[in-house]
Amino acid sequence: MFVEEYIERLKPYEGGKPIEELKRQLGIKGEIIKLASNENPLGPSRRAVEAIRSVAESVNFYPDGDCYYLKERLADKLGVSRDNLIFGNGSDELLELIFRTFATRDEDEILYCYPSFVEYKIIGSSFNKRLVEIPLKGFEYDIDALIDAINGNTRVIFLNTPNNPTGTIIKRSDIERVIEASDKDKTLVVIDEAYYEYAIAEDDYEELLDLYKNDNVIILRTFSKAYGLAGLRIGYGIASPQIVDYLNRVRPPFNVNIVAQHAALAALDDDEHIKRSVETNRIGKEYLYSEFDRMGITYIKTYANFILFDAKRDASYVYEELLKRGIIIRSMAGYGYKTMLRVTIGTKRQNEIFIKNLKEVLNV
């Protein structure tokens, strides 16, 4: 055997087929609408697109290994020091760096609630870590059970807010309870805010940025969602200089490509694009809520750009039937929600087409 048994047990991530291949296989002549991966339906900022064009002829050079200009601009925008920032090839790479840096002993335990962002489990399994899953209470984090599970071997705690796939949030007071209950010298608390720009638009979402000042906290955010740069893979972390320094010691050089850096820098200055994206999401969310209500479909109030809903039919069946009609959403059967699906909030037209087809599938 060339690898350890825990590698043998891993299942490779199976991404969706290219849209053109799906159209060919399913015999679909028209448009395919993808509402499965929580991407920004408006696309990237026009400024970001221009920045991509402007740097295209410079890709023969290695990127700036420190993301110097992007770090300067983001530090200014957030009101933090550049020493508080680290960038990664998507938030996924930052998660890997966290495992490689802070969870190095055999007895180290990784604590998170489930269902939540699946990469915590996938990456943790790839490092052969002890994973401690706390079931959600309803569709929200069970903070009391999470705190009860903290022990001397707890090395990393993941808090996903808004939580993917439920769209629910963790109250700031509960996050502070977790930080207080954790060992400041041994346990890293990771606050994953991938959907921050959508969440902060809600009146009752509390700002969490200042929590990075705790010595054992890192906040993760991304350019993949509201900024519309998912295809370029760039995310960032905000933490104390010491945590950032440790992560930089294991970070590969040139990990964020030159195109991503320039696009993110331009996107940061396009506040109007973020406003349009958030407003489109708000309008789309209200429309989908109202249609679900009319159809008698229950759903979970979301703080993100997706909605978890209960079709009260086999989720895999609903997914396949919508797929035949050129609508791609996400079945939650694999998460244990056998009749539930997650749909990304799209444009007005995309949402209307989705609802029309969903009514046909469910005979509503």
Dump pLDDT digits (tens) for 250-280: 999 999 999 999 999 999 999 999 999 999 9
Burial class for 143, CB neighbours closer than 10 Å (0-12, 13-18, 19+): buried
Q: Does pLDDT of 58 surpass 80?
A: yes
The chain-wide mean pLDDT, for the chain, equals 95
Backbone angles phi, psi at 285, to 5 degrees: -65, -45
Asked if 102 contacts 155 with a C-beta cutoff of 8 angstroms, the reply is: yes
Opening angle at CA 18, ends 282 and 257, nearest 5 = 75
- What pLDDT shows up at residue 1? 58
What pLDDT shows up at residue 15?
A: 67
- Which of left, alpha, beta for 90 (phi over 0: left; psi -120 to 50: alpha)? left
Give the rounded percent of residues in the chain with a pLDDT score beyond 70: 98
Tokens representing 272 are: 């109007």
Closest C-alpha to 236, from 89, 98, 27, 117: 89
pTM of the full structure = 0.96
Give the Cα separation of 18 and 39 in Å (integer). 15
Please state the domain extents for the chain.
Answer: 5-43+272-362, 46-270
CATH number of the 46-270 domain: 3.40.640.10
Token pair recorded at residue 301: 């109030």
Q: What pLDDT score does 48 carry?
A: 98
Per-residue model confidence (pLDDT) at position 16: 66
Pairwise CA distance, residues 64 & 216, whole Å:
28
Residue 9 has pLDDT above 90, yes or no: no
C-alpha distance from residue 9 to each of 143, 172, 241 (Å): 30, 37, 37
Average pLDDT over every residue of 285-309: 98
Q: How far apart, in whole angstroms, are the C-alpha atoms of residue 304 and residue 285?
A: 9
For the 5-43+272-362 domain, the top CATH level (class) is alpha beta
Q: Which amino acid, residue 50?
A: E
